Structure 1
Amino acid sequence: MTERTSGSPEKGRLPSRPRETEKIISDLENTIAEQKALVEVLSSAYQRYRDVVEHLPVFVCSFSPDGTLTYVNESLAAYVGVPAEKLRGSCFYSFLSPESGKKTAEAIASLTVDNPVCVVEEEVLLPDGTRRWLQWIDRAVFDEKGALVSCHSVGRDISDIKKAQAECAQERDLFMTLVSSLRDGVNILDGTLTITYANPTQESWYAHAMPLVGKKCYEAFQGRKTPCENCPALTTLATGKAASETVVRRGPDGSIVGWLDLRTYPLVDSATGKMTGVVKHVRDITNERRAAELLAQNGKEMRKLWQEAPIAYHILDEHGTILDVNRKEQELLGYAREEMVGRPIFDFVLPEQRKDARQRFAEKLRGKHVPPSRDRIYVTKDGRHIFVSIRDTIERNGTTVRVRSQMTDVTRERALEEDLRRSQRALREMVEGMAKAIIRILELRDPYTAGHQRRVTQLCGAIARRLSLPERRTEILRLAASLHDIGKIYVPAELLSRPGILLPQERLLVNHHAELGKHIIIDVGLPAEVATIIAQHHERMDGSGYPAELQGEDIVLEARILAVADVTEAMQSHRPYRPAHSLNEALDEIRSQAGVRYDREVVEACLAVFSEGFVFT
């Protein structure tokens, strides 16, 4: 038998590869099955993820580099008021104000592979005309070459936050204006005693150390390299409570030029509740201090000066008991010195105010800042009531406490204030009387509008209350409403009562009554706001009104209220050129033009007051 060559296959016999093939096929089938199961899991997970994204309480979208929206979740579509399928393919820049669009484009253009995320705040103009603010977190997606492919964004409405921030900024500006006008010094320190703010009074005292901001308080005010002993600011930072101290005021050469009453209060972050620094209120007590020093140095002579001072003074202990009182205060209250010394100062306060007076006195002794009371009433010996203003200086010497008080009779000033209020009331009554007379003249010239201005005034007042308009603005609106047709005095009476259609030049003359009314109001010296409201009460939100064809927010709110009230009442009144309409017809008219010719919010308020039972009287 011939031997086979080693390694050569045996003829007529198949190798074992079919078995291997079957195994491979089996493995492939298992792999395919596993992949199908994985696809199903992934598909199910993707669908759940999509359902979650669609109904998240936040807004989700994707867009291409040119701003074209490629995906919008249902929350965003519902917010905008446009179906998601219509939003996809549109450019989101069309919803932004020009300024917001510019800032957003710049922010997106600045994104890089290394810095792919930005946060933008956008002012959005919704299809219904409202303006809202949205905050977006944008994440850019780049291709392998670093080119921007798309952006994915998550957003939320921050309109209320922006409004609150604006109101806070306004309140802060008002606060800073008030602080800047104070005659006392005010400065703010951070936790390291570094000055972050000083008002003009404080700066004027330390002009030689300017600029104050950025320096340590002890460096700027005392020329020291370390904090002062018994520093009240450090006490406040350590305890979180108010503190006080009397300190010297130094000049450019370091010499003492005066004395200051220094009080410190914790500055607390309203958002976190944590103390961020200290507010210092500084009062110049140099004159008071020098008076006290002179009194101590000169004994009887200074006591005589104190007794004869043209200002009422008294000295109290820590319980409020009178230790001494000068002649001016004796004359002011009508009591002799021996009738006052040893008695609580509160005995001379109006009984109804004694509890408050004691409480305020105790708070002062505890170091709290207590603003002076302008309504404190003292009762004289003969029973007269006088208004006084009191300024206290607290002196501490070990355990001994003395309160030196300066009392000023402000009864005359209060009487003058009351006279001024009476004069203002009389002036208001005179204006109202004049308005009634003018209204009567108008009604005599145009009997068909009799009572029109009175009823419009009633409706304006009801709408203003519904919109929570401030009291003064409501009064101005009511005055303008009562006189809104005053310009018709210059319009011939036959035009006002003609039953036929007016000629173009006649219509132009009638339409001119709003502008004429404005000039009459200015000439008689009524507030400029009244003139503006009357001039604009025939303007319309879409610019179709007269005389200036103003639009939207260019029309003052009061004029927009007057416009709705005027039309609502006029439609229900008979005119020579048309019969009266029903209330429902009048309300249907303003409802149909809400957001077009009339302010939508005002229309809704008008409809609400009628639904609540408002009727003309």
Structure 2
Amino acid sequence: MNENAGGYNVFEEALRVAEGKYQLLSDYNIQLAKISILFLEAADEKGLYSSIADSFRGITNSIAATFSVYKQDSQDLQVISLSIDPINERKVASILGPGLFEMRMPVGADDLEQMRSQIIRRPKDLYELSSHEIPREVSRAIMKDLGCNQIIALPISYAGEIFGTCVAYMAQEMPVVIDEALIVYAQIAGAAIKRQRLDDDLLAREEKYHIIADFTFDWEYWISPSGTFIYVSPSCKQHTGYVPEEFMKDAALLQKIVHPDDREGLALHIEDSLDINKVSNPIDFRIITRDGEERWVGHRCQNVYGRNGTFLGRRGNNRDITKRKHTEQMLARSEEKYRKLVESAIEAIFVAVEGKIVFLNQRTCTISGYSSEELMTRPFVEFVHPDDRDMVIDRHIKRLRGEEAIPRYEFRIMRKDSEMTWAELNTVAITWEGKMATLNFLEDITERKKVEAELWKKQVMLARTEGIAHVGSWEWDVATDTVTWSDELFRIFQRDPQEGAPSFAEHPAFYHPDDFALLQQAAEAAVADGTPYELELRAIRKDGETRVCVARGVAEMGLNGRAIRLFGSLQDITERKAIEVELLKSYERLKNTLDDAIDTMAKIVEMRDLYTAGHQQRVSDLSSAIAGEMKLEDTRIEQLRMAAAIHDIGKIYVPSEILSKPGKLSTMEFSLIKTHAQAGYDIIKSMDFPYPVAQAILQHHERTDGSGYPNQLRGEDILLEAKILAVADVVEAMASYRPYRPALGINKALEEISQNRGKLYDPAVVDACVQLFNSGKFEFKSI
């Protein structure tokens, strides 16, 4: 009975101990729950470390508590937080100074394993706790001043990751808290640190990604599967003028600001991007900003998926490429401009690299007759005439070597149709895609060659013609006083062409002094105002012989109104001049003979009509004077003088008794008188006069109104010479004595022609005649 009672007492004691321990654990759980909440409320990692130190001091009912962080890189512990009352804090500070938080306590491999296993340590003193970093004397002083009799070191870790150690400095020698509670505390503190670090890391990462997204120059966005914006970067305002909140509020805003012409293309792009079987290519489109500006956007997007493959929407990147687009457009316009220049060039333009054409324009094909494919797949020299290939190759190689080579030269090309074409090549060395090359400009000069050949023939013909005609040509550059002579001019002056043409200053030696003064005067006038000239000069040859020449000159005028060049010719007319002198002598002899013949005929008429003696001569004088007053040429005046001197030659066929009849003539007699005009024409027409003398004699009795005889001619049908002769004949006849009446006088005669001016007589002739007498320029020598 006693044994059973004793057993029961033991059991009952054990039960009371268990119940007490359970109650204690319950109390600790409540306290630990509060500590967990405290840890959750920590603002940051530093605040959490302070809470750990404070709560550990509280749960252990210790004098002071610290929390030291484990530094994995240096494998040591560093005190981060200290929980202690102010008095004891000053005691520790007086012993350690500020060095507590700078102290490093090494952690060995064994220590690490214990910390990872969360083994509670109870070191004897600070010397042991700090792995001998705190000297034994300092350790004793601190523990004595604090009244510390026990140290508890609790490792803090989570899932094998070591975070640090909590240390409690206790006055009691016996534990006041059970190990189970400390282990739970260590787990709670480790979990809190892990969570805090994860939160801090998450925040750091989020901050980093926000910085990347928010501070990018590009306009970034994330659209949910439903089409609403999850995120829009602030740079959207810089691009569009709209802020992110506006896009978040209006999911259709992006489509609204796209240029109307580009909306369909963007919609198709978005549709393709949602198809996982299609590759979403970048797209460029225009937007209209809030202020109405048109901008270009380079757009790229891709679908976003979660780790489990869930579709999370679409991420888009928009870059302002307005400047690039404008540059591309300008470049395109520039390329188009230069392409048109190259393609519309009248020259063939091509680039040759390593003997082959790598670039060409259409004109190259036109000139050669080959297609671009044919020209670019064969060596260029194959298109050169065989006789010119060595020259072309040699100059091409020299140019590529940087040696001196003729940049422009001519050669022949063999066309595809086997025709030969002359070409002029202008080439320069360049670099083409990293290789030495030549840029070539080739012009078809076949027609020019033909023209040059024809010109050469004409020059030869001109030289021969100049020699035959004794005409030399020259050119004078006024500014440089440079004179150029043709070969014939050297021959005219007997000057050796090797001596060159003399300057204008040397010309006085080549002309008679009197004539050079005329030439110099004419040349100065030509230079000053462009007046052309033609002079007859005496040229002095090298042997002293004088040659008669005709000099002609014309000026090429500059913008300042003065001549820049004079061109001209010099013709040797010495032989022609001698012939002209002989001809003039012969003409004078012939003229004298003709004058004698006319005088003889006039005298024959006067012998038959004594009353009209001197009439024909006086009519001739007046006719010549009228013609002179009317400014007729000398040849016509001479023609008129001859006709007037014998205008009545036909009267030799009229009986003399009728010519000298003192009374009025009968109708029959007057009819006979009227035949003298036709009779005179018949006499003279067979004579070889150089002028229409016979016609003037025939028409001298015709009248402007057609009332004259013998053919009743009118106005312009009557020769001017006959009109003058008619007026002079009437004036002289009325002013002179006649067998049938006395002289009527000049005034009566002038009155007659004035009254019938325009009717019977030509007005201009009448005016000239009246002017002669009224001005006193003319009067009959004897009437």
Range of TM-score over shorter length? 0.3 to 0.5
Structure with higher RCO (Cα < 8 A, 6+ apart): 1
Larger radius of gyration: 2
